[in-house]
Amino acid sequence: MATNGNENTISECLVHLCNEGSIESIRYFECRRTLMEMLRDRGYNVSESDLTLTLSDFRSQFGEFPKKETLGVCVSHRSNPSNK
């Protein structure tokens, strides 16, 4: 295990990505991708671009230190579009 500047432990699999950007952006990226997959699996209209967004594109869109307020999503359900 490695540590970041705040002495927090970082798993080895994330260390190589941290050298290229913040750990926060990686964690938010992974959470967002999982959320999009879960929404799709539950019948919500999720765009292909949201499902295939790369880490680099995520960082371009939301920055190295994303603010939670900017990460919100609103998608409609396939069978009931008023259900968001």
Residue range 30-73, pLDDT digits in tens: 999 999 999 999 999 999 999 999 999 999 999 999 999 999 99
Task: Kindly tell me if the per-residue pLDDT of 78 is higher than 60.
Answer: yes
- Please state which of the four CATH numbers 3.30.1330.10, 3.30.420.40, 3.40.1340.10, 3.40.50.2020 is assigned to the domain occupying 23-84: 3.40.1340.10
The residue to which tokens 């997959």 are assigned: 37
Task: Kindly tell me if the per-residue pLDDT of 82 is higher than 60.
Answer: yes
Distance CA(31)–CA(37), nearest Å, equals 10
Domain ranges of the chain: 23-84
Task: Kindly tell me if the per-residue pLDDT of 1 is higher than 70.
Answer: no
Distance CA(63)–CA(49), nearest Å, equals 18
